[in-house]
Structure formats: structure tokens, C-alpha cells
Structure 1
Amino acid sequence: MSSEMCAVCGLPKELCICEEVAKEQQRIVIKVDTRKYKKEVTVIDGLNPSEINLQELTSYLKSKFACGGTIKDNVIELQGNHKSRMKEVLIKKGFLPEQIKI
């Protein structure tokens, strides 16, 4: 039974709680920007990439909202205006409602 240990919490990788604890410490800001040709982009800022897997979260949000998106400078950008539903989706993903500012 040789399982790798997490360097942060000291638990085996299967039982690691670092990402759940990190979710409780984030201060997320959701806003909508307008780009060229009046295209709207939902911007999710305030996530720490060393604690949260941004690639996994971006893939989840893109599939949930059926849109395109990317990560630029540790900020998630999704095509379209998803501001009204974003908070409830992030809460279901494990983030606290008090941390999310729209």
C-alpha cells in the first residue's frame, strides 16, 4: 500500500482536503466585459491557481454553460453573459456564497 502523500496537508493523495480548504478561502468576482463587435464575455477573477485547478474548473463551466472559454492571466473568461446563473453553479461546485461577488 504505497500511496503518495500530499506535501501540504500530509494526507494520502486520495484523502487530500487541500482543494476543499482552498475553496473556502477564495474571493471570487464575477463580471461581464464587452469585447470587439459588442460581444459579451463573463469574467471570473480572484481564484488562486496554486490552490484551485483552473483548467478543470474552466472545462466544467464550459460544459455547464455550453460555451467557449479560456484562462488568461489566472482569470477565467467564458463567451456570453452567464452572470445570472454563475453564482449558483459555483456554489454547487463547492464555493461558499459569501465569497462570490457579482
Structure 2
Amino acid sequence: MPEICPTCGLPKDLCACEEIAREQQKINIYVTKRAFGKEMTIIKGIDEKQVDLEDLASKLKSNLACGGTVKDGKIELQGKHKSRIKEILTGMGFSPSMINLK
């Protein structure tokens, strides 16, 4: 018997909760400077209860060939990747109109 999603009641392989949640996220992307003048791209506003941040961060790091981490509900990536992140997130199902570049 397949696992049932507690939110929508569909089997896990047919569940669309995460896809629907991705379209409704209001995401802010900005670059900040850290120690020794290194730049860090911060992705903020993704609800960790609806989207797996660790998995998303892993996919972003492999696509951008950079390091990074998840801290306090934010994804921190090493380097300046503002423009490329919007394209990648749009390709993953996030709504482009809900992604703000600062």
C-alpha cells in the first residue's frame, strides 16, 4: 500500500503539494559581503515546511558549481549568482513573478 500525503490525501507519487507551494512562495534574492570581502548570495522567503530547503540548496549548489548552506530558513550560496538563480528557480517550478532580485 503506497504512502498517503497528509495534506492532500493522494498517494506520495501523485502528490502535488510541493509543486503548488512552489508557485506561491515569495522569494527575495540578494548579495551581501562577508568576511574578507567575499560575496554571498542569500535566498530568503521559501517556506521550509512546504519545500525541502536542503534538497533545493543541494540542487542549486550543483547547478551553480559553488558551496553553500541552509541557515535560519535561508539558503546561503558562495559567490554572486543573482541572475542565474532566478532562471534555475523558474525551471524548478517557482513563479518568476514572485522572485524579487534586490
TM-score by length of 1: 0.97
**Are residues 1:18 and 2:17 paired?**
yes
Moved over 6 A (4+): none
Equivalent pairs counted in the alignment come to: 101
Which structure 2 residues correspond to residues 1-102 of structure 1 after superposition, within 5 A? 2-102=1-101
How far is 1:86 from its partner?
1.1
Letter in 1 for 2:41: T
TM-score by length of 2: 0.97
Supply the distance in 1 between the matched residues of 2:80 and 2:33 (Cα, whole angstroms): 10
Supply the distance in 2 between the matched residues of 1:87 and 1:13 (Cα, whole angstroms): 28
How far is 1:84 from its partner?
1.7
Identity of paired residues, percent?
Answer: 53
Unpaired runs of 5+ residues, structure 1, are none
Supply the distance in 1 between the matched residues of 2:85 and 2:16 (Cα, whole angstroms): 24
Unpaired runs of 5+ residues, structure 2, are none
Supply the distance in 2 between the matched residues of 1:18 and 1:79 (Cα, whole angstroms): 30
